[in-house]
Amino acid sequence: MLLGIDVGNTNIVYGVFDGAELIHRFRVETGRGRTADEYAVVLRQLLAMRGVEASDIQASILASVVPALTEPMIGLVRAAFGHDPVVVGPGVKSGMPILYENPREVGADRIVNAVAAFERYGTGLIVVDFGTATTFDCVTPKGEYLGGVIAPGLQISADALFARAAKLPRVEIAKPPRVVGRNTQHSMQSGIVHGYVALVDGLVDRLREELDYPCKVVATGGIARVIGPLTRSIEDVHEDLTLEGLRIIFERNARATAASGGAERA
């Protein structure tokens, strides 16, 4: 089995693959103060709940946008499973040309999402990832990563409103009954949810105007299933896109390593 680890600023998502099938997924809160041993204990308990033994995990791959947690995650894999993970970054073969001015600046999750989306759809793409930040990543019809947009995430925007407006209460992030709120709660929910829908549609419109090719718009991330259906631009939602991308990149690197080893033996 393959373990995929997606380390984000808000959550860490673990995925267990049996071949190409994602059989288990766990989402835990990102805790920057935890040690590798603490992470290892928590993950092994989660796996045990699903009947997965540590010996079943034969390989791992990691993508992290939190530099302070990269080494603890590597330590977690070593402590829990006895091997080193593949870490998405410079030197790892993604199979996707990066057209960013400085490819090292692109977050690992953005590349992983782009790889998975192009593998799945095989066309020009705008990939919207609803995370701590909301990213819009553009992929050309040739399968090249072009660049994109980084916007404040919905939860960040809502938290700023709650914190800075003394008379406004904290409300659940949910679609209100109508756009015109008849009370403070619904008015705030309308501004948060429908305002963010407008941000997504507006940015997608501007990206499509600038790109010189047709593109499909797909979404992933924690609240994609809440926001996606309310937009007019998002055509598909794939919750596990990042984990799928990790699996694809792992397999590409495993094939490359096997081919290289075969050439050396020959």
Which of 25-34, 76-85, 93-102, 243-252 shows the lowest mean pLDDT across its residues? Answer: 25-34
Residue 255 lies in a domain: no
Q: How confident is the model at residue 73 (pLDDT cuts 50, 70, 90)?
A: very high
Q: Of 87, 102, 131, which residue sits at a domain end?
A: 87
Provide the CATH number for the domain around residue 224: 3.30.420.40
Q: Is the pLDDT of residue 264 over 80?
A: no
Residue 93 lies in a domain: no
**CA proximity to 169, closest of 193, 189, 155:** 189
Structure-block tokens of residue 173: 């992030």
pLDDT tens per residue across span 9-50: 889 999 999 999 999 999 988 877 788 888 888 899 999 999
Are residues 206 and 118 both part of a single domain?
yes
Q: Is the pLDDT of residue 71 over 80?
A: yes
pLDDT at 7: 95
Q: Is 109 a known active-site residue?
A: yes
Are residues 79 and 123 both part of a single domain?
no
Are residues 69 and 118 both part of a single domain?
no
Catalytic residue from among 6, 56, 109, 159: 109
Are residues 231 and 124 both part of a single domain?
yes
Give the mean pLDDT of 224-242: 94
Residue 127 lies in a domain: yes
Q: How confident is the model at residue 173 (pLDDT cuts 50, 70, 90)?
A: confident
Are residues 173 and 116 both part of a single domain?
yes
Are residues 234 and 124 both part of a single domain?
yes
Going by C-beta distance under 8 Å and a sequence separation of 6 or more, which residues neighbour residue 238? Answer: 116, 117, 120, 218, 219, 220, 244
Give the mean pLDDT of 120-135: 96
Are residues 117 and 241 both part of a single domain?
yes
Range of the domain at 125: 111-247
Q: What is the mean pLDDT of the chain?
A: 92
Are residues 120 and 10 both part of a single domain?
no
pTM value is 0.90
Are residues 76 and 33 both part of a single domain?
yes
Q: Is the pLDDT of residue 136 over 90?
A: yes
